[in-house]
């Protein structure tokens, strides 16, 4: 069964460093998302991406964040200068174009630890 994959599973970085989190969405999906879950808190939406541009973003997704689909398979989230409060589990998700499916399929997540 096709699935969303994410790399790395765990990333440790120092405050102020740039990180790139990578995702490979399901191959026929057209909508891509990033969510994060700070330990013990709710899963929060960051950004959605369609047709090579951002569809929607939350207030969390400030200028320190960017997303890119550099080729036909990868979808990346870049944090330019990490802060301690960026430590969280980051989930990538993808979905097909409605009305075929309204489901968002999630990857296993990347645990980001900022020290």
Residues near other proteins, by CB under 8 A: 4, 6, 30-31, 33, 35, 41-45, 48, 50, 55-56, 58, 91, 93, 95-98, 102-109
Q: In this structure, what token pair is assigned to residue 104?
A: 């968002």
Please say whether the beta carbons of 113 and 14 come within 8 A: no
Closest CB to other proteins among 15 and 43?
A: 43
Closest CB to other proteins among 6 and 87?
A: 6
In the bound complex, what is the minimum distance in angstroms from residue 56's beta carbon to other proteins? Answer: 5
Edge-to-edge strand list for the sheet holding 65-68 = 5-7, 19-24, 75-79, 65-68
């Amino acid at each position: 069964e096709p699935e969303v994959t994410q790399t790395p599973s765990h990333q440790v970085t120092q405050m102020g460093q740039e990180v790139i989190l990578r995702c490979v969405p399901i191959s026929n999906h057209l909508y891509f998302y990033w969510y994060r879950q700070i330990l013990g808190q709710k899963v929060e939406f960051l950004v959605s991406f369609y047709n090579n541009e951002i569809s929607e973003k939350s207030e969390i997704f400030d200028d320190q964040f960017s997303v890119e689909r550099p080729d036909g398979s990868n979808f990346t989230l870049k944090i330019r200068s990490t802060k301690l409060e960026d430590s969280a589990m980051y989930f990538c998700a993808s979905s097909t174009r409605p009305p075929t499916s309204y489901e968002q399929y999630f990857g296993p997540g990347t645990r980001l630890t900022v020290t």
